[in-house]
């Protein structure tokens, strides 16, 4: 789908040739090709294109004189502005993604079938980083979910391009190849997570999570185990069993293991795989309930990230992923408000609200995973609370943790991926809100600080392991509008996890939050 070429862009005769232009003051633009710079002189004088971020200029070489851009064989040439291109590394990486996303969405609107993108090799920036981010922007921006649509007519967004190609543009080809490989792997995994989320509740079931896990483990160094309902009962996973009681479909706990060496650190990721959430007996309001098919985005992110691990085979870390999967329905055997359950680690919980189900299934997966794998760190991702949207909107993921250094690592990884996070506090004052008169805990702490009390619940199931909770309810869908992020599910979390794994080194021993 995305390849690197060394062919001279002047000889490219495809549908769309893409260049990037850097703004230098008010009177100058820098681009890879002098022919493009010449073609931009008049538009710049007229104020039609000044190279601002996201600004585009399109011309048709066949209509230009040779000295004004007519030397190109491509049917169209698109120039995307980068602005002054200033800021920290993470900001610059995001600008490359946005510019690439703008290029590919413009190509789709033009009904182009292929495009060649020339990297801005004139910039003093890592060739690997530029190639990685442009590759991500192109693939993620080209995404479209049309499995259930009958393609018989025009589409306002245009069909995805069938062929995307990158030219080094003056950068070192070997570094560009490496960067494109990284970006391609991350972006395709992000698209896989989007596909899962876009599937309806009757399309993506717990069994589909199990099937996907087995698929990526097949012919790879990953091992896939699936715990069935009978296994959960034997193990005492009362949270998963409780949430599943009203469903016609059995639950699954999908476990993927990648072990590179016994002495290597083990990173554990847990993703909420709630394939549809009706709220159970504490029924959700009807308006907007169709969006509850997205309640499995945490599980989608975690299992899709393992697709990257299977491909890249990191040699210095072990990676374990657990996806507790079920739906939450109100059948005749459904858990009732006031029922008491016992989690895997023996902690009892009074289920005050059956719509606070995510923490119940995560609690079993967390306590089981921590006991079995003794991970060096554990991170869970979940569309857990609507409260996080009130606090952070759809722009940042909520982050809560017991370890300061882990927080810094995650936030850096998120910034580099264009998936920003914001840390919220934890403390005994919030845990008090979960006090039950009849059990060890109750599963909600009231409306105040709802995101924090949900994390405080999970904190009872990780022991002393460095742990972080990512509440992606506000970012898993309807994420900040970007050129490479479509409406609907964003695939959030996949590239943050990938960055963490790729750059992991041991935590310091004293960094408790």
3-state secondary structure labels for all residues of 189-241 = HHHHHHHHHHCCCCCCCHHHHHHHHHHHHCCCCEEEEEECHHHHHHHCCHHHH
- Could you give the 3-state DSSP secondary structure of residue 54? coil
**How large is the average pLDDT for residues 110-132?**
97
Catalytic pick among 93, 97, 184, 359: 359
**194 vs 300: CA distance, rounded Å:** 8
Q: Is 359 a catalytic residue?
A: yes
Element (H, E) at 137: helix 127-141
Flag whether pLDDT at 63 surpasses 90.
no
Cβ 156 vs Cβ 487: under 8 Å: no
**511 vs 508: CA distance, rounded Å:** 6
**456 vs 450: CA distance, rounded Å:** 10
pLDDT score of 510: 59
Of 337, 368, 335, which is closest to residue 436 (Cα–Cα)? 337
**392 vs 249: CA distance, rounded Å:** 34
pLDDT confidence bin for 28, thresholds 50/70/90: confident
- Longest CA span, the chain: 83
Of 1, 5, 4, 74, which is closest to residue 35 (Cα–Cα)? 74
Of 151, 74, 156, which is closest to residue 111 (Cα–Cα)? 156
Flag whether pLDDT at 152 surpasses 60.
no
The number of angstroms, rounded, from the C-alpha of 349 to the middle of its chain's C-alpha atoms is 31
Domains and CATH numbers, the chain: 2-193 (3.40.220.10), 208-502 (3.40.630.10)
**How large is the average pLDDT for residues 335-356?**
98
pLDDT confidence bin for 513, thresholds 50/70/90: low
**How large is the average pLDDT for residues 398-406?**
98
pLDDT score of 26: 74
pLDDT confidence bin for 336, thresholds 50/70/90: very high
Mean pLDDT score of the chain, rounded to an integer? Answer: 95
pLDDT score of 153: 47
Backbone angles phi, psi at 24, to 5 degrees: -125, 95
The number of angstroms, rounded, from the C-alpha of 337 to the middle of its chain's C-alpha atoms is 33
Strands 114-118 and 16-24, by their bridges, are parallel
Element (H, E) at 211: helix 206-217
Q: Which residues pair with 274 in a beta bridge?
A: 326
Cβ 269 vs Cβ 472: under 8 Å: no
Backbone angles phi, psi at 215, to 5 degrees: -65, -45
pLDDT score of 87: 82
Cβ 127 vs Cβ 168: under 8 Å: yes
Backbone angles phi, psi at 298, to 5 degrees: -65, -45
Per-residue pLDDT of 236-255, as tens digits, reads 999 999 999 999 999 999 99
**203 vs 464: CA distance, rounded Å:** 38
Of 328, 321, 276, 278, which is closest to residue 301 (Cα–Cα)? 321
Of 391, 352, 378, which is closest to residue 459 (Cα–Cα)? 378
**487 vs 299: CA distance, rounded Å:** 20
Percent of the chain exceeding pLDDT 90 equals: 90
Flag whether pLDDT at 511 surpasses 90.
no
Element (H, E) at 133: helix 127-141
Catalytic pick among 178, 284, 423, 482: 284
pLDDT confidence bin for 156, thresholds 50/70/90: low
Distance between start and end Cα atoms, the chain: 44
- Could you give the 3-state DSSP secondary structure of residue 110? coil
pLDDT score of 24: 85
Of 292, 464, 269, 478, which is closest to residue 378 (Cα–Cα)? 269
Flag whether pLDDT at 69 surpasses 70.
no
pLDDT score of 205: 98
pLDDT score of 439: 98
**125 vs 305: CA distance, rounded Å:** 27
Q: Which residues contact 446 (CB under 8 A, 6 or more apart)?
A: 433, 453
Per-residue pLDDT of 417-455, as tens digits, reads 999 999 999 999 999 999 999 999 999 999 999 999 999
pTM of the model: 0.96
pLDDT score of 509: 73
**How large is the average pLDDT for residues 188-208?**
98
């Amino acid at each position: 789908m995305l390849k690197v070429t060394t062919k001279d862009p002047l000889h490219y005769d495809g549908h769309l040739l893409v260049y990037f232009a850097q703004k230098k003051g008010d009177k100058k633009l820098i681009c890879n090709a002098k022919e493009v710079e010449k073609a931009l002189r008049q538009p710049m004088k007229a104020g039609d294109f000044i190279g601002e971020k996201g600004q585009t200029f399109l011309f048709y070489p066949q209509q230009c004189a040779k000295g004004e851009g007519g030397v190109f064989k491509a049917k169209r040439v698109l120039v995307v502005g980068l602005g002054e291109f200033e800021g920290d590394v993470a900001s610059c990486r995001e600008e490359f993604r946005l510019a690439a996303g703008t290029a590919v969405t413009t190509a789709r609107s033009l009904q182009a079938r292929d495009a060649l993108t020339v990297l801005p090799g004139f910039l003093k920036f890592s060739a690997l980083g530029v190639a990685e981010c442009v590759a991500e922007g192109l693939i993620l921006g080209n995404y479209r979910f049309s499995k259930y649509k009958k393609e018989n007519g025009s589409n306002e967004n245009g069909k995805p391009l069938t062929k995307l190609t990158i030219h080094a543009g003056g950068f070192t080809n070997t570094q560009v190849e490496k960067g494109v490989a990284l970006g391609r792997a991350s972006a395709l995994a992000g698209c896989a997570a989007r596909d899962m989320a876009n599937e309806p509740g009757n399309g993506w079931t717990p069994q589909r999570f199990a099937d996907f896990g087995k698929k990526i483990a097949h012919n790879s160094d990953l091992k896939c185990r699936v715990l069935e309902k009978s296994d959960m009962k034997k193990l005492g996973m009362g949270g998963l069993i409780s949430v599943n009681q009203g469903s016609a479909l059995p639950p699954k706990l999908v476990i993927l293991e990648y072990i590179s060496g016994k002495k290597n650190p083990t990173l554990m990721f847990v993703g909420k795989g709630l394939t549809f959430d009706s709220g159970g007996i504490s029924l959700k309001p009807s308006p907007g309930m169709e969006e509850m098919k997205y309640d499995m985005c945490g599980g989608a992110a975690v299992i899709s990230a393992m697709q990257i691990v299977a491909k890249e085979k990191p040699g210095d870390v072990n990676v374990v992923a657990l996806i507790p999967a079920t739906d939450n329905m109100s059948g005749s055997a459904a858990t009732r408000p006031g029922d008491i359950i016992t989690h895997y680690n023996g902690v009892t919980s009074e289920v005050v609200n059956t719509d606070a189900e995510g923490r119940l299934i995560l609690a079993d997966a967390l306590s089981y995973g921590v006991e079995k794998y003794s991970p060096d760190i554990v991170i869970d991702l979940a569309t857990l609370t609507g409260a996080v949207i009130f606090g952070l909107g759809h722009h940042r993921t909520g982050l809560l943790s017991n370890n300061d250094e882990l927080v810094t690592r995650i936030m850096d990884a998120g910034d580099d991926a264009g998936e920003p996070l914001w840390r919220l506090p934890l403390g005994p004052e919030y845990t008090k809100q979960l006090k039950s008169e009849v059990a060890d805990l109750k599963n909600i702490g009231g409306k105040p600080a709802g995101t924090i009390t949900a994390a405080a619940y999970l904190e009872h199931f990780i022991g002393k392991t460095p742990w972080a909770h990512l509440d992606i309810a506000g970012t898993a869908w309807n994420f900040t509008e970007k050129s490479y992020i479509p409406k609907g599910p964003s695939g959030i979390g996949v590239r943050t996890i990938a960055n963490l794994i790729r750059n992991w080194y041991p935590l310091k021993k004293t960094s408790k939050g």
